[in-house]
Amino acid sequence: MKFIDEAVIYVEAGPGGNGCISFRREKFVPKGGPDGGDGGDGGSVYLIGEKNLQTLYDLKLKPHYKAGRGMHGKGKGMNGRSGKDRYIPVPLGVEVYKNDKFIGEILEHKQTLLVAKGGKGGRGNRHFVTSTNQAPRIAEEGKPGEKCKLKIILKLISQVGIVGFPNAGKSTLLAAMTNAHPEIADYPFTTLTPNLGVLKDNFKNIVIADMPGIIEGAHKGKGLGIRFLRHIERTRLLVLLIDLSVDAPLKQYKALLNEFKRYSPALLEKPRIVVFNKIDLLEKIPEFKLEEKIFYISALKKIGIDELTNYLKNEDFLKN
């Protein structure tokens, strides 16, 4: 299934049923009064969070959704049945925009968000009796349901986000720490979509995301651009993965921080660590002093992985 993180859909709530004009007609009641029932309310459209979904691919395939219409009222005071609500499953982490206005987000399993309200059913003629009009021949029509276009943007929810330049070894590190099996190859942009893995221990599960490679100018859309920078926004901890085998590894470090700042300065406020990878390719490992905690590893040879995973498991802000 393709990873799709943005979709536009069209939703239509059900119209309300019409009220009924009716009068009692019984054998021994010669002057029966009005008894028209009310129309049922139209069904509404909701988005509902589904923890097992990771993409908006289904919404891309099927962009139109309708809820059920309300039934018309009948005689003998019988109200029409309300229309059936429509629930559209979406992944956790979506933001929803209606007419370019933010209306809410879904972050929890089975959380719902009303996006189109059903029309109100019309009242039957029994509601229009007055002292001067004992036999009203009027009833209300049902109101139309709301119709709208929604823009849905997915921002993956993960506790740890691995970010770095192409070929830094992000997918290899994810595979070394978790049960994930991302595509791994020696060419740029192997990872075209975020990959998720779970680091498990006896007390908790930590969701780790391997983000597609970031290059200088990503905040302007270069490379894979801001499509994937936004997936970093909901991570609790950023892992800056730096290829130690390149000529100037600190240049990558500074470039990543610069892209964060230009995309959203709030990213710089997130807790982060720096992981220098590919130490197996060097005879002598240089030592750097940075403001972040530093790890030296070889994701391919699984050197230093235990120290890194133990650190992540013991971080208090990852426990909840």
> Is residue 21 scored above 90 in pLDDT?
yes
Say whether 300 counts as a known binding-site residue.
yes
Say whether 1 counts as a known binding-site residue.
no
By the 8 A CB rule, do 223 and 183 touch?
A: no
Say whether 213 counts as a known binding-site residue.
yes
Nearest to 52 by CA among 120, 125, 123, 110: 110
38-55 pLDDT, tens per residue? 999 999 999 999 988 888
Look at residue 5 in the predicted model and tell me its pLDDT.
Answer: 83
- How far apart, in whole angstroms, are the C-alpha atoms of residue 145 and residue 150? 15
Say whether 210 counts as a known binding-site residue.
yes
Say whether 165 counts as a known binding-site residue.
yes
209-235 pLDDT, tens per residue? 887 666 555 444 444 445 667 778 888
- 6-154: CATH superfamily: GTP1/OBG domain (2.70.210.12)
Say whether 295 counts as a known binding-site residue.
no
DSSP classification of residue 298: B
Say whether 13 counts as a known binding-site residue.
no
Domain definitions of the chain by residue range: 6-154, 160-318
Highest mean pLDDT among 2-6, 152-156, 296-300: 296-300
Higher pLDDT, 37 or 260: 37
Decide: pTM greater than 0.85.
no
**pLDDT band at residue 276 under the 50/70/90 scheme:** very high
Say whether 195 counts as a known binding-site residue.
no
Domain with residues 160-318, CATH architecture: 3-Layer(aba) Sandwich (3.40)
Angle at 228 between CA 224 and CA 230, to 5 degrees: 140
Say whether 264 counts as a known binding-site residue.
no
Look at residue 181 in the predicted model and tell me its pLDDT.
Answer: 59
Q: What is the mean pLDDT of the chain?
A: 86
Say whether 190 counts as a known binding-site residue.
yes
Say whether 217 counts as a known binding-site residue.
no
C-alpha distances out from residue 114 to 52, 106, 139, 237, Å = 21, 11, 29, 32
> Is residue 35 scored above 70 in pLDDT?
yes
